[in-house]
Structure 1
Amino acid sequence: MNYKLIFILILIINCQISFVNCFAQIDNTIDSLKAAVIVAKHDTTRIKTYIEIGDFYEYKSLDSAIYYYEKAQNLAKINSNKHPRFNSLQAAALRYLGIAEYNMGIYDKALEYLFKSVKIFEELLIQAKHNKNTDKIWEQTLKISKCFNDIGNVYCKQGTYDKSLSFYLKSLKICEEMLDDAKRSRNTNKIQEQKKNISKCYISIGNVHYFQGSYDKAINYYLKSLTIFEELLNMANQNKNINKIREQKQGISVCYNNIGNIYGDMGNSDKVYPVKRDRWFYRAIEYYLKSLKIIKELGDKNGISKCYNNLGSTYKELKNYGTALNYFLKSLKIKEELGDKNGTSTIWGNLADLHINIAVSCKDTQLRISHYREAVSYGLKSLKLAEEINAQYLINAEAAQLQKAFTALGNTANALKYAQIVISTKESMFNEEKTKSLAEMETKYQTEKKQLEIEKLEKQKALDKETIARKNAETKKQLIVIYSFVTGFLIILIFSIIILRLFIDKKRANVIILTKNSELKQANEEISTQRDLVVLQKKHIEVIHEEVTSSIRYAQRIQRAVMTASEQMNEILGEHFVIFKPRDIVSGDFYWVTKVKKWLIFCVADCTGHGVPGAFMSMLGISFLNEIVRKKEVTNAADVLNYLRNNVVASLKQENMNSEQPVTKERVMDGMDIVLCVLDTETLKMQFAGANNSVYIITNKQVTNNKQLIELKGDKMPVSIYPRMEPFKYQQYQMQKDDLIYLFSDGFADQFGGSKGKKFQYKQLKEVLTANCYQPLSEQKAILEKIFDQWKENCSQVDDVTIMGIKITT
């Protein structure tokens, strides 16, 4: 038992860091969304943003979530007469309000919101059918199905199981019909969506059977649901769809938790054989821990609280009261943070039951009385809250706890009072008529399902007849086409005879034209002479162009030769890639790599200009770097850029920028933007200095499932004469094995393209690098080149493009 406690504590500690980072990210996202509301120009955008803020708060503060859902609902209601989309947004906000109130345990208000939402969605569905808008019909039908499931959840929490099952079966029927439609249209996304919705319905129906004590039916529905979620998770993993993976894991976690509940109840019912009873409880704990592991990965506080509560209940049955109390208090803390009244009442009731169990096991009279009084305290708080939210099954359970406690304390009057409450609530929840009603509803559903299959077969037969009739009609059409062709051919023949006569007349006219042509011949000869002269000039220009192009291509070979060779880069850098796309034949960009003792120095630079002028600057830069680093062995990143700037200024005879002398051929203002890194191969500490350019690092320090992109920004001045000639700053970063480094010029981000002809931008470049950082570097290179070509499409390349990617392997 002690080893299991240690294991649980280790799991909790390992997840704390993930929680802190997860909620920090949620806070940042909420702040961004609140800023988006302020700058939004349209009410549609504001409403959607309010709903999105509410969604984020649902994991932190239900009161805040309700506040933003109400703002969305009110704003949508004000605009409801302007366009149907506002009605749809209002219905969505009402549904989210209902779910939030449900999570807080305020069931009457939850039902009020959900029924209002259903009414609006049904009105929108009628409009969509009238307009024959297939997409809208699908959308509104799906939303109605989800509302039915939500209403069923509320009735289930209230203990009104006949109404609950009725709405679950309505939702399931809609989902099955939509799945059939999706299969007919072979729409993979819709098929997956409806399978997920059907799986949720199975869970809900299983819950009703569980609360009714029909464990075989309940576990059958849970296993059906688990099978579907596991199938959908495999598909999501293959497609690497993070959102879908999260959804399916959430469903699997719920199934594990519900199966654990059943095993726990089976342990409670098997009191004759203690060994077998404990086996059921340990099996329940196994499933609860499976569920808890997944739900912690997802950061779902409500789900974590449920798992803690279930583990507490199971350890209580195993008489491990200390562990049980610890789990109950953890669960209670989360429920109180979320404002979940139903959950708070449930856990207070569980604490009351725990103290009753402890009291029964106590031999000391005073200690036993103390625990019974604690049970009464928790029971009264739980009962009060249960009556406030009208949760019949909780009222029944807490009245039973209070009856036990008061009986043990000898308070017969109060014991009798709460015994009467137990009887009255039990009759309202579990009378024979309601149990019969549940069975009749499920039988009716299965009958209607079979009838629907028969109707589908009849529709298929009618469709086959319609197909035969359509083929006959097509045959008639083909005959009509043949007759039309023959008629058309005769018409063409008649027109051909008419045209022939016209041709003869035209031939006679041509004799007259020939006479005039002889007069034009002399003029044509003069034109031909001038044309020949133009052709000779064109050929001369082409020869000159070919000579210039040949010279530039030779310059290209020289430029490539002075840059670091690929074999040398493989030896120095190890796993890496370089994308080098000059705008013209020669490039103003260059990359350079060397190793001095234990220092690995690499850089990417963007020189002023393109083509030949830029190439001259790039060769000048490479020459200076070789002299500074290889000969002088300068290994401080900032010092290298300072020396490089001094050499550029001196070589190009650049003068003080404060001079009033205008820029001329004699006063050269050219230079370069550069990012330069120096890596200590022993300690993996990396120095960085930059001129106008940054370096991206994707670190291997994982606190979530995603790697983190870090940007080290360079100084806002070039390597050349400039109004602000301050020394370049030195930055240092501790690298780790498998970290990724990206150096680049501005050519990729500044490329125009896409559907709107806009720049690619650095933000999108960061997203591409982060999304593909798990790929090998060779695959990353191929992806970047493909994205660049697709973005550029028919646009001309505006600048030289260079990207260097390096993986830390030592």
Structure 2
Amino acid sequence: MSNFNVLKDQLELVNNNPDALYNFYSLFGKKMPLLNFEERKKLLHLASITFKNIPGFESFQTFSEGAMYTFSSEYTKAIDKLLSAIEMFSEQGDKVIVGAAHCLLNICYKSLGQFEKAQISIQKSLEILEKTEKENEFHHFLNNAYYQAGEMNGILEKYEIAIHYFQKGLKLNLENQLMKARMLNGLGCIYLKTSDLPLAFDYLNRSLELTEPGGFMLESKIYADLGDYYLKNNNIDKALEFQKKSLKIRTENNFWSAAITCYIQLSGIYFKQDNLKDALHYGNLAVDKSKELNLIPKLFEAHKLLSVIYERTGDFALELKHLKNYHKYKEEVHNQEITRKIEQLNSKHELEIMNQHKEIFRLRNVELKSVIDELNESFRYARRIQQAILPPNHLFKKYLPQSFILYKPKDIVAGDFYWMEPISIVHSDINQTKTGFGTMNPETTPVLFAAADCTGHGVPGAMVSVVCFNALNRSIREFNLSSPGEILDKITDLIIEQFEKSDDEVKDGMDIALCRLQGNKLQYAGANNSLWIISKEDESLTNAFKITEIKADKQPVGKHVQRKPFKNHEIELQKDDTIYLLSDGFADQFGGVKGKKFMIKQLKEILLSIQDKSLEDQKGYLDSVFESWKGNLEQVDDVCIIGVKI
């Protein structure tokens, strides 16, 4: 006979008997995990009709409705019912059901991210239920309390305490197969978190073997946990299989909070496969359902995942939107969690054994780590902004098809940058120009391009680079300049003008190599960064090359004591000549056997030795040489090298 029919038959035998009321609601609580939502709802409706004239009906019905809403993820309704039930049973002096209600409240508060309230609830539940006699019909809620305490400490990464509670639950349930299976599942999850995968797999399988027919709530959880296990073992197909089996059970039975976890897991798995369409599908399902149920912890997980997915797609607007929401919801959860953890130190339950001073020190480190993580998230988005203003590779290749860019920032954001702007002449005067990436012919269009090194690196360098990048664009688009020397003069004026607005003296600026190329006609101007041209030394020799250095002016773009106009060099290049623009980061890198600088001389020799390689192969080779030279030493500066072949 099904669990539903067992409970239904018991209702039909009732004849205004108070004991029958107590027995029914007790059995309903035990069988609830084995019933689907509609069965629970129908049985409580029948109970409301059957018991309405029996004293105590309202309090038991309210408590049972609270339990029903808890397991259907309707946590706001559940909290309302459970708090009312606590008030009713407290007045009646029935502490046992008060303890059971607190156990269910822990689930609700935990799912909503209200961890302080969740911890208070589970402590109250344990304090009451551990004093309850085993003969009491509601003593079985102590099983749930041990399980929830274990799960709570697992979330807090208190793995030894979590294992302690799950093992207490096992000892209490030597004969109860279903509860034994739950505790084994709990232990399996802890070992998943500690990456003891063989032990985790053993516990999860033992749990699945003990799951009773109809125990679909636990079954769905074990499937999801096995999916996590297979993902950690890089068995993607198995991970998908078990997550989908879990999701099917959860959606069919309205276990929406658990289903959202499956959505998030599936989104992450598809992202790992680079299946961005399905990753976005499940990620958006997670956000939508979490919003509907106001599940804050699930929301910040889902928003974080979507921000990473949209970063991969290149949709920076949506990446920013989800990143902001991630920070918003994470802050809510984090503040509650830190408060709750400090409150936990003063609790009078089993956690009193913790060393309070040591724990408070650890919590301060947790807060510090959180701040660092937040900063890194901000830097990561700043990097996306900086990358967005750099010319895209495909456009660089469109106007300079035989070229490469080796760009290696020292930090998340950089002071070095590269720049390009095609121009078209509309008057005989060379300085009257139109710029942009419209429909100009790449083969005949004059192209300006540069490798720049701004003062500093990291965040300060990146901030200066934005000012300098903007000044470059203004000199072309606003002041209609196209001669490299005149452009450097103008951006010097613009940068000085910008920084003179500050009350403090700002001497920041940049070193730069700026070129204008049309066909084989090259113009160049440099601020501390020279131009290198590699050409064949003798046309009759296949691999004989020479390097010519066009010296830069010994002054930066920016404030300088003896400033003078930048010299504009005009060079006629030959076919197969290669020009190189670079910052000083490569040559200044420490490394090698003796930990010395790479130096300009050695870099020139490397470039001369790789002229038989394609531009892309040169880039790869230079990158390999740099990493090999650097070894385990820290990168000292940003690196930017541009190579263009005629």
User: Taking structure 1 as the reference length, what is the TM-score of the superposition?
Assistant: 0.33
Higher helix proportion, which one? 1
* Greater relative CO (CA pairs within 8 A, separation 6+): 2
User: Taking structure 2 as the reference length, what is the TM-score of the superposition?
Assistant: 0.41
